[in-house]
Chain A
Amino acid sequence: MGLLTNLRDSITRVTDRLFADDEPKRIGIYGPPNAGKTTLANRIARDWTGDAVGPESHIPHETRRARRKENVEIERNGKTVTIDIVDTPGVTTKVDYKEFLDHDMEKDDAVKRSREATEGVAEAMHWLREDVDGVIYVLDSTTDPFTQVNTMLIGIIESQDLPVLIFANKVDLDDADVKRIADAFPQHETVPLSALEGDNMDEVYEKIAEYFG
């Protein structure tokens, strides 16, 4: 299995690209669990549409299915860009229900969450392959960016030639280290922000318009 589908997929992709010029670009919000992807997606959606995208939580793997918000019109410098945003499940190489037991969860619920989280990662990876035109990669600035997951995902995004912005989130926290993130991915632009507090959202929207408009 594979060759045929690959061929067909790439044909679909090409035609998609040819005819979809006026369609809003679909921007995937990717990153490890708990980085603040949903918080960011909600802020963007609330700022420009008034709606939210999905529940946020301090417990990892809160988002276990991709969620899409379509036709988000962002105005920058008198110009309007329209994008679809896709909030994706946090990507990881290991899911263990025991991690959730620390959050006061019953074992059954933890096992279930862990299975759904695993399916969520599979879904997120699939979207990356087929269905996004650009990526916002969200990282928690208080954590070490040099992880296998980050390296692998950024590598995949680069191999797809997708436009990507790195968002160094949670800069409101004392131990945030934006430079560490910028140094980890010097080939890409890093934008500091606090999705929770709404810090630096002007630059966020400016960059979104510039990269994905």
Chain B
Amino acid sequence: MPHQCTNCGRTFADGSKEMLSGCPDCGGNKFQFDPTGEAETAPPETEDTATRSASTASPEGTSADDPGVTDDVAEPNTSPPTAPDTEDGAQASARSDVVSPDELAAAAESTEPAADRAEQGETAPSPADTDPSDTDASDSNLDALRQKLNDQFESIRIVSPGQYELNLMELYDREEYIISLREDGRYVIEMPEGWDDR
């Protein structure tokens, strides 16, 4: 069940058709991909292995109604302060048009499960996400995850952190819209519903 509704936490088998018309439970149309297939509605603290915590669901960088585009006028090149410069903080600051620094700070301290935060429209890392590579064990997990992402998702190949190869045809052919790409092998996608109300 590699996909999970970021709103209510319901999980779906890979390629589940149910997702295509939005979550049958809550109508949400954002789904997080979890390459380990271990997405659960259970809160993170019940998880004890490195693999599990590295796969904890966490939506990020998306607004509820506008998946893609910043409207109208350019704002100055903002980079709001994000306290620790983790992958997630960096990612989130790149999304400053949809997430305010305050929300980030609040959410970064929160230990709530991801689904709850998604409901509030907030998007930020859970503590378990912030440094998946602090032990040797999770380093190899990281490699495994990266490999899984590459297999599953051949439209973008992660050569190494910061180095990517893109298959344009694959990207074009994909029906889901990729919102957020992460080193640990997760990304957040949005299904077509979200596009309609732009």
Contact = CB atoms under 8 A, between A and B. Distances in A.
B161 A8 contact: no
A92 B192 contact: no
Contacts of B174: 126
B72 A94 contact: no
B72 A70 contact: yes
Nearest to B178: A122
A91 interface: yes
Nearest to B174: A126
A125 B178 CA distance: 10
Nearest to B14: A1
Given A52-B74, A67-B69, A122-B156, A94 B172 contact: no
Contacts of A131: 68, 195, 198
B106 interface: no
B84 interface: no
B119 interface: no
Contacts of A128: 172
A47 interface: no
A162 interface: no
Interface stretch (A74-82, A110-118, A136-144, A191-199): A110-118
A200 interface: no
A86 interface: yes
A64 B94 CA distance: 9
A96 to B, nearest CB: 5
B155 A12 contact: no
Contact of B192 (A8, A54, A156): A8
B135 interface: no
Contacts of B171: 121-122, 125-126
B20 interface: yes
8 contacts: A1-B15, A1-B19, A1-B176, A5-B191, A95-B163, A95-B164, A118-B166, A122-B156
